[in-house]
C-alpha cells in the first residue's frame, strides 16, 4: 500500500513543513526501519496536506490477523530487532514515538518500518505531556497513572506488548477502559509495591 496521510487545515506551505510529524519524518526517514517520506502535497483551496510515503505491503495487525498459528520465532525475532532499531534511532535523535502499536508498524519483504509519527514528541520537552496518548492496550502504566509524567521508556513498554501479541496472536492487556487496563496489567505483573506507588502519588 502507498501510504497517504492527510493532515487537515494547514494554512501555508511553510506551516506544513514546520509540522512536528513532517519535521520528525525528514530527520529520521533516512533510517532503513523508519517509513520514508517522499513528498508533501499542499492543497491551498481546502487547506489539507497529503504526506506521500513509500509503498508497503501491510501492517503487523494485518500480518497476524486470522492466523491459526504464530509466525516462526526467527521471523518474530527479525521483526522485533528492526522495531528496536527504529526506536533506538528515534530516541538517539531526541524523539519518542508515543503510539507504538501493530497498526503503526509496516512490513514489506520482511523489512519492518515504524510509521505514523503524528504523536511524536521531543525527549527534551518537559512534562507534563499530553495525558491521553498512545492506544490504550499499548499504554504504559506511567501514562495511565500520572498526569502526563512519562518519557521515551513508554515506547519500550509498547514494543513489549507488540512482541507478545505477535507471538501469541492475542493482545497482552486488552483493557475495556483505563481502570480495566490497570487491572489487566496488575493481573499479569502483580500490584506495584508501596515505594513505586508513592512515586505515582508525587
Mean pLDDT calculated for residue range 93-121: 95
> What pLDDT sits at residue 177?
92
Give residue for cell 507534563: 128
- Mean pLDDT of the residues in the chain: 88
Catalytic center residues: 99
Q: Give the 3-state DSSP-derived string for 129-194, with helices as H, strands as E and coil as C.
A: CCCCCCCHHHCCHHHHHCCCCCCCHHHHHHHHHHHHHHHHCCCCCCCCCHHHHHHHHHHHHCCCCH
> What pLDDT sits at residue 164?
98
> What pLDDT sits at residue 144?
87
Residues 6+ apart with CB under 8 A from 26: 37
> What pLDDT sits at residue 43?
81
Mean pLDDT calculated for residue range 174-188: 94
In the chain, what are the domain boundaries? 58-201
Is the domain spanning 58-201 CATH 1.10.510.10? The answer is yes
Asked which of 73-77, 79-83, 90-94, 195-199 is least confident by mean pLDDT, the reply is 195-199
Q: What sign for the dihedral angle of Cα 120, 100, 77, 141?
A: positive
> What pLDDT sits at residue 10?
61
With a pLDDT cut of 70, the percent of the chain lying above it is 89
> What pLDDT sits at residue 3?
55
> What pLDDT sits at residue 83?
98
Residues 32-62 pLDDT 10s: 999 999 988 888 887 788 888 999 999 999 9
Residue 128: pLDDT over 80: no
Amino acid at each position: 500500500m502507498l501510504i497517504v496521510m492527510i493532515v487537515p487545515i494547514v494554512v501555508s506551505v511553510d506551516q506544513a513543513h514546520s509540522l512536528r510529524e513532517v519535521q520528525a519524518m525528514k530527520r529520521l526517514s533516512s533510517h532503513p526501519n523508519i517509513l520514508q517520506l517522499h513528498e508533501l502535497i499542499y492543497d491551498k483551496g481546502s487547506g489539507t496536506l497529503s504526506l506521500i510515503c513509500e509503498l508497503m505491503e501491510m501492517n503487523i495487525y494485518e500480518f497476524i490477523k486470522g492466523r491459526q498459528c504464530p509466525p516462526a520465532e526467527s521471523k518474530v525475532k527479525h521483526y522485533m530487532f528492526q522495531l528496536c532499531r527504529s526506536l533506538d534511532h528515534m530516541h538517539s535523535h531526541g524523539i519518542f514515538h508515543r503510539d507504538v502499536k501493530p497498526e503503526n508498524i509496516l512490513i514489506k519483504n520482511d523489512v519492518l518500518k515504524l510509521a505514523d509519527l503524528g504523536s511524536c514528541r521531543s525527549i527534551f520537552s518537559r512534562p507534563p505531556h499530553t495525558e491521553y496518548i498512545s492506544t490504550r492496550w499499548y499504554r504504559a502504566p506511567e501514562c495511565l497513572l500520572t498526569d502526563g509524567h512519562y518519557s521515551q521508556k513508554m515506547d519500550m513498554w509498547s514494543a513489549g506488548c507488540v512482541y507478545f501479541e505477535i507471538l501469541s496472536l492475542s493482545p497482552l492487556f486488552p483493557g475495556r477502559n483505563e481502570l480495566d487496563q490497570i487491572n489487566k496489567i496488575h493481573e499479569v505483573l502483580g500490584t506495584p509495591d508501596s515505594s513505586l506507588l508513592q512515586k505515582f502519588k508525587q
